[in-house]
Structure 1
Amino acid sequence: MGSTGVRIAIDAMGGDHAPAEIVAGAIRAREELGVKVLLVGDPQQIEASLPPKTNMAEVEIVPAEDAIAMDEEPLNAVRRKRKASINVAMDLVKQQQADAVFSAGHSGAAMASALLRLGRLPGIDRPAIGTVFPTIKAGKQVLILDVGANVDCRPKFLEQFAVMGSAYSKYVLGTDEPQVGLLNIGEEDTKGNEVVLRAHQLLRENSQISFKGNAEGRDVLSGDFDVIVCDGFVGNILLKFAEAVGGVILQILREELPQGLHGQIGTAILKPNLKRIKQRMDHAEHGGALLLGVDGVCLIGHGSSQAPSVFNAVRMAKEAVDNQVLQRLRSQYEALQRDSD
């Protein structure tokens, strides 16, 4: 496949399985998606991880002197280690040598680096991490944000999350008119704490989105909402709980279905169906979460990301670039800022 011209800077040193799995996923993305990958990190370790006969015409190794460990305080580490791999990768986007960046390393460091180097989009106070969940409706996904960037939120932050989430759902996920929900303890307008009550009012009055109302926990995977907003404290708990439940269900299926002769026969027959179940439930199939609100396309992956997750994250980054999400978001935010002035 010929190159599309999309260039993805990849923090090859970030993550539990770096650089081997990060490099493997990046090379697969190069071969199947036609993107150019810029692998940032220790050249010696990256070269040792490259598969034999790699076509170096579309793979570039960008040296970085350091990496940020998971136990480091993110902001201080980003400022102190100027030549860390995540900083070098962000600089490539800032200098327009790359169109997007992906890291499976320290998520706090990735966000801090993005804020310091790329900056926020006009009209945005706080960037948010958005991730896609499967729903009970086949082929339909729901975007949840924020899932970890902002522990405490003001009502206007939640309103901004809704605007950016709607734009992403429309232009990348292909939703005609994204239905937005506000995560709450009840569907009634009078439920929730002071922040949520005020956010509900702002969302209802915002003409840029289609606000459907409050979404309870049981509604998250119902398919009735396309975008659900919440603060990062609640969102991160929701994300990790959902991942754990998905893993438990898959493990139960692996253990219980092959039991006995009938189970073994049934499992063989259902193998294609089971594969599709895994694809719908496994977080690795979604690759990463988009950091929305910064002036650049930035994907943050799980620390445990392996090659399939990296591949899917690069695919998401490519889709965001191809659909000009950054430009569309910028115009949406500028309109939101004008409305609020």
Structure 2
Amino acid sequence: MIKIAVDLMGGDNAPDIVVEGIKQLLDKDPEVEILLFGDEKHAFQHDRVTFQHCTEVITMEDEPVRSIRRKKDASMVRMAEAVKYGEADACVSAGNTGALMSAGLFIVGRLPGVERPALALTLPTVDDKGFILLDMGANADAKPEHLAQYALMGSIYAKSIRKISNPTVGLLNIGTEDKKGNALTRETFKLLSDQDNINFKGNVESKALLMSAADVVVTDGFTGNMVLKTLEGTATSIFKMLKQELTKNMKNKLAAGVLNKDLQGIKGKMDYAEYGGAVLFGLNGIVIKAHGSSDARAFYNALRQAKESVKEGVVEAMRKEVSHD
């Protein structure tokens, strides 16, 4: 049985969507137990749920490191401690991203040999294959050695969870030529070219990301976070413009009625919540960040992702590979 610790109180729509997501997982997967941390007034009965009352909550406005250190009875802190002490195999929260990264780093701890953990997210592509982008913001600055480790950890995850036998790795850059970029990307290119434990295909441009430029794409956290928010904003803007155009007159409204199912399908393809949450790579346990505005389906996918990561031994594989990197 795989045990997942869950922060009931984290996220814009908590606790309702957290409870619903948990119930969906329990209904579909008999191999999972839930260790749930939060306010007892939201507790519910299930033979595979153990509830732990917490008196504090880390909010989206809290300063990450300070809140982890001072709010010892917060649901997020208690959840991370469950992984640290072996009471749970993985943990999931939709709460404050910075606080969860701090909890992962200072409570769960880094794997030996990992210089800096990275936040990784699987994003959609036109061909439905998807790709892993990291770092998404765990570290705004990075050294070439950090990006080389990101490439290795991303490859391990792609093999274990995405079942890609020999995943390609791309380095996000302003051009595909070998000498392109700044000092960071040029030096990283050299390091990745010399690594025989990854399938490095070279530089990739941001315009090619959704066209399956590579199975794993690495960059620094500042750039990765900018890319994610640009993709989110672009997708939202496009569908907003489509809605405005398709509702401005009766003819367009009739066309919208005919195309509605197809448009919803396209919108679903652009929703990265289908792949689960963001994973903190390089920690001594599975820590997954569900999107702050997750609905029940998105939170269910994050829980399912946590279970699969445990089942496939992702942390053990990273421990073995990175310690010999």
TM-score band, normalised by the shorter chain?
over 0.9
Which SS does the other structure have where 2:157 is aligned? helix
Query: 1:57 aligns to what?
Result: 47
Query: What is the 5 A alignment of 1:308-327?
Result: 308-327=297-316
Residue matched to 2:60:
70
Distance 1:316 1:116 in 2: 23
In the other structure, the counterpart of 1:103 is 93
Instruction: Decide whether the 8 Å contact of 2:124 with 2:272 is kept in 1.
Output: no
Identify which of 78, 82, 104 aligns with 1:88. 78
Unaligned ranges ≥5, structure 1: 337-341
CA contact 1:101–1:299 (8 Å) conserved in 2: yes
Equivalent residues of 1:23, 1:39 under 8 A apart: no
> 1:135 corresponds to which letter in structure 2?
T
How far did residue 264 of structure 1 move?
4.9
TM-align CA RMSD: 1.7
1:262-310: CA deviations, max 9, x gaps?
6555544444433321221123323310111001011012222221211
**SS of equivalent residue, structure 1 residue 62:** strand
The one of 8, 11, 16 aligned to 1:15: 11
Task: Tell me, in whole angstroms, the C-alpha distance in 1 between the residues paired with 2:153 and 2:176.
Answer: 23
Within a 5 Å distance, the mapping from 1:61-210 to structure 2 comes to 61-137=51-127, 139-210=128-199
Contact persistence 1:257–1:263 (CA under 8 A): yes
Partner residue in 2 for 1:339:
none
* Worse-matched range after superposition: 237-246 or 265-274: 265-274
Give the corresponding residue for 1:306: 295
Aligned partners of 1:293 and 1:140: how far apart in 2?
24
TM-score (norm 2): 0.94
Q: Does 1:25 align with 2:35?
A: no
Structure 2 partner of 1:331? 320
Give the Cα separation in 2 of the matches to 1:256 and 1:28: 36
Q: When the two structures are superposed, what TM-score results if normalisation uses the length of structure 1?
A: 0.90
| 1:162-201 deviation line (CA, Å, top 9, x unaligned) | 0000111111011121111111111111111111111110
Amino acid corresponding to residue 215 of structure 1 in structure 2: V
Paired with 2:24 and 2:264, the residues of 1 have a C-alpha distance of: 20
Which consecutive unaligned segments of at least 5 residues does structure 2 have?
none
1:27-71 superposed Cα distances (whole Å, 9 cap, x missing partner)? 222212332222211111x23xx5xxxx51012211122111222
User: How far, CA to CA, are the matches of 2:285 and 2:167 in structure 1?
Assistant: 23
Shift of 1:248: 2.1
- Sequence identity (%): 40
Task: Give the 3-state SS of the residue equivalent to 1:224 in structure 2.
Answer: coil
Structure 1 counterpart of 2:37: 40
Equivalent position to 1:246, from 228, 235, 241: 235
**Which deviates the most, 243-252 or 121-130?**
243-252
Rounded Cα–Cα distance in structure 2 between residues aligned with 1:103 and 1:276: 27
User: Please, which moves more after superposition, 273-282 or 156-165?
Assistant: 273-282
SS across alignment from 1:61: strand
Q: How many Å apart are 1:215 and its aligned residue?
A: 0.9
Total equivalences in the alignment: 324
Question: What is the alpha-carbon distance in structure 1 between the residues aligned to residue 62 and residue 218 of structure 2?
Answer: 29
